[in-house]
Amino acid sequence: MRMLLAVALGGIVGTLMRFGISLWVSNQWPRHFYFATLTVNLAGCLIIGFLYAHFLTRPEVSPELRGALIIGFLGSLTTFSSFSLDSLRLLESGQVLTALLYTSGSVVGGLLAAWAGLALARL
C-alpha cells in the first residue's frame, strides 16, 4: 500500500509538472508545439540517468522513494525516459542488436501505431 501511494503521489507531481512545462513552452514558442514534448522528454532522460546512477550507489534509498521518483514522477512526466534507460541498459550489457531492435521498433512501431490510431478514428 505504501508503494502504491508513493507512485501515485509521484505521478501527480509529474503530471502537474508536465502540464506546467507544456504551458510555459507553448506560450514561449506557440508555433513550435513539439518543443514541449521535446523538453519534458530530454529533462526526463537526464533525470532518470542521474537517479539510476544515484540509486546504484545508494542501496539504502527506500523502494517507495525509488518508485515515487522513477515510476510515478518520471512515468507521468515522460515515458521516453524509461525507454531511453532500457535502451542504455541493453547497450551497457552488450546486447547491441537487441538495443537496436528495441529502439528502432519503439520509434517506428510508435509512429505506425499512432498513424493506425489516427486512421481508425477517421473511419
| Residue in the block written with cell 526526463 | 44
CA-wise closest residue to 41 among 65, 13, 75: 75
Q: Any known ligand binding at 103?
A: no
DSSP 105: H
Q: What value does the CA radius of gyration of the chain take, rounded to a whole number of Å?
A: 17
Q: Is 78 annotated as a binding residue?
A: yes
* Contact of 24 with 83, CB cutoff 8 Å: no
Alpha helices by DSSP H, listed for the chain, are 2-28, 34-57, 63-66, 74-77, 80-92, 96-122
Binding site members for Na(+): 75, 78
Binding site members: 75, 78
